Amino acid sequence: MGRGHPECPARLAAIQDRLIAAQLWDFLLHVDAQPATWEQLARVHDADYLDRLATLVPAQGYVHLDPDTAINPYSLNAAYHAAGAGVLAVDLVMQGRANNAFCAVRPPGHHAEHDRAMGFCIFNNIAVAARHAMEAHGIERVAIVDFDVHHGNGTEDIFCHDERVLMVSIFQHPFFPYCGDVPRGPNMLNVPMPRASTGVQFREAVTEKWLPALDAFAPQFIFISAGFDAHLEDDMSSMGLVEADYAWVTRQVRQVAKKHAQGRIVSMLEGGYDLSALGRSVAAHIKELSGL
């Protein structure tokens, strides 16, 4: 994204370092993704948008897709692989080669709408993965859980009238992208939270709103837009979650998946920009996904 941008390569290094320090790294199956195909991306993105992106890649330097989102000569290839990670994760889980999966990817995806990049996001990785589960594997009901501090407007844009999908989200409001307080479809359970909300309010919202809706919907596969920028130490927001909150919500989602979805979960990295907090939070998330 450019020098000094919070969506930086050090994010993935911080995650790897923490997983090694927590003695989780060697426990995990590590798989490198192939790039998503044009057809897989076109399940959620406008064809003209996909074609236009290819013409915008610079030979050198940066081109801005929006004020916050830039690409360099290598960005589009990275974005293809980020989306492809979700596709591969779905395949591995459906084939029984993994119980669940966490995709440590950049760039993130949940702000990318069907026809535009936004908020550091080029392709909507979680939407590509969810649609792949439905179209390639015959999954009839998918739940998307989004606990990033910013509302996943792109995911809502893509799925807001798809009755096969239930999206539950919690986000700081008012805050970028300044929407979500009014859901765009009956399958969108958006829970705006005021600044300075802590794990107490977060857990109440999950318990009272998310969990009953998820149980009633009975998803056959659960996807997590795993953003960790609501952490107390993250300067990108004004909320007060800590690692224990991320571990707790992961445990709740895992219980829903065990009950309705044969344990099937694919989680994909979204936000999280304080490197230490990000590494610790992802480690807590993965530990819960692993049942450790």
* Burial status of residue 8 (CB atoms within 10 A of its CB: 0-12, 13-18, 19 or more): middle
Q: Which of 45, 81, 110, 111 is catalytic?
A: 111
Known active-site residue 111: yes
119 contacts 176 by C-beta, under 8 angstroms? yes
Residue 88's alpha-carbon distances to 132, 199, 209, in angstroms, are 10, 33, 31
Please tell me whether residue 231 adopts helix, strand or coil conformation.
Answer: strand
Q: How far apart are CA 181 and CA 272, in angstroms?
A: 22
Amino acid at 5: H
Sequence-distant (≥ 6) Cβ neighbours of residue 18 within 8 angstroms: 279, 280, 282, 283
Of residues 260, 4, 233, 282, the one with CA closest to residue 139 = 260
Cα distance between residue 290 and residue 102, in whole Å: 10
Whether 84 contacts 106, CB under 8 Å: no
User: CA-CA distances (angstroms) from residue 129 to 1, 132, 197?
Assistant: 24, 5, 30
Angle subtended at Cα 254 by Cα 7 and Cα 36, rounded to the nearest 5 degrees: 45
Active site residues: 111
